[in-house]
Chain A
Amino acid sequence: MSPAVRAAALGGGYAPGDEALAGVDFALDPGRIAAVLGPNGGGKTTLFRALLGELPLRRGTVELAGRPAYVPQTDRTRLDFPVSALDVALMGAYGRTPWWRRVARADRVAARDALARVGLGDAARTRFGELSGGQRQRVLIARALLQDAPVLLLDEPLSGVDAVSAERIEAVFRELREEGRGLLVATHDVEQARAWDAVLCLNRRQIAFGSPAEVLTTGVLQETYGHELVVIGEHRAVAVEHHEH
Chain B
Amino acid sequence: MLAAVVSLPEPFDTPFMQRALLETLLLAMLGGVLGSWIVLRRLAFFTHGTGTAAFPGLVVAGPWGVPAQAAALGTGLLYAGSVERLGRRAGADAATGLLLVAALAVGVVLASDVYESGAGVDRLLFGSALAISDRDLWLTAGTVAAVLGLDAALRRAWLAGGFDPVAARSLGVPTAAADRLLLAAVAVAVVVALDAVGSLLVTAVLVIPAATVRLVADDLRTLRLGAVGLGAAEAVIGLWLADTLNVGPGPALAVLASAVFAVVALATAVRR
Contacts and interface: CB of A to CB of B under 8 A. Distances in A.
A143 B214 CA distance: 25
A115 B156 CA distance: 20
Nearest to A103: B156
Interface in A52-82: 52, 54, 67-72, 76-78, 81-82
Interface string A79-121: 0011110011001101111011001000000000000000000
B40 A92 contact: no
Given A82-B218, A94-B172, A127-B218, A72 B164 contact: yes
A182 to B, nearest CB: 15
B171 A92 contact: yes
A91 B160 contact: yes
A84 to B, nearest CB: 7
A95 B163 contact: no
Interface in A27-58: 52, 54
Interface in B50-88: none
B159 A72 contact: no
Contacts of B171: 91-92, 94-95, 143, 147
Contact of A72 (B154, B167, B218, B219): B167
B246 interface: no
Contacts of A88: 163
Contact of B172 (A67, A76, A82): A67
Interface string B216-245: 011110110000000000000000000000
Nearest to B165: A76
Contacts of B152: 100
- The dominant DSSP class at the B interface is helix
B183 interface: no
Contact of B219 (A67, A70, A82, A103): A82
Contacts of A69: 170
B102 interface: no
A124 to B, nearest CB: 13
Contacts of A127: 218-219
B263 interface: no
Interface residues on B, range: 20 to 34
A54 B24 CA distance: 43
A165 B97 CA distance: 44
Contacts of B168: 91
A94 B167 contact: no
Given A72-B164, A77-B163, A99-B153, A82 B169 contact: no
Contacts of B159: 81, 83, 87, 91
B3 to A, nearest CB: 38
Contacts of A147: 171
Contacts of B170: 52, 54, 67-70
A97 B156 contact: yes
A1 to B, nearest CB: 25
B159 to A, nearest CB: 7
B22 to A, nearest CB: 30
Given A76-B167, A84-B219, A95 B172 contact: yes
B163 A91 contact: yes
Contacts of B43: none
Contacts of A71: 167
Given A91-B160, A97-B156, A99-B154, A82 B167 contact: no
B23 to A, nearest CB: 29
17 contacts: A54-B170, A70-B167, A72-B166, A78-B163, A81-B163, A82-B214, A82-B217, A83-B159, A87-B219, A91-B156, A91-B168, A91-B173, A96-B172, A97-B156, A99-B156, A140-B167, A143-B171
Interface of B: 40, 152-154, 156-157, 159-160, 162-164, 166-173, 214, 217-220, 222-223
- Closest 10 interchain pairs by CB? A95-B172, A70-B170, A77-B164, A99-B153, A72-B167, A81-B163, A94-B156, A91-B160, A82-B219, A95-B171
Given A82-B217, A87-B219, A140-B167, 16 more contacts: A54-B166, A76-B167, A77-B163, A77-B164, A78-B164, A81-B40, A82-B219, A82-B220, A82-B222, A83-B219, A83-B220, A91-B156, A91-B173, A94-B171, A94-B173, A95-B172
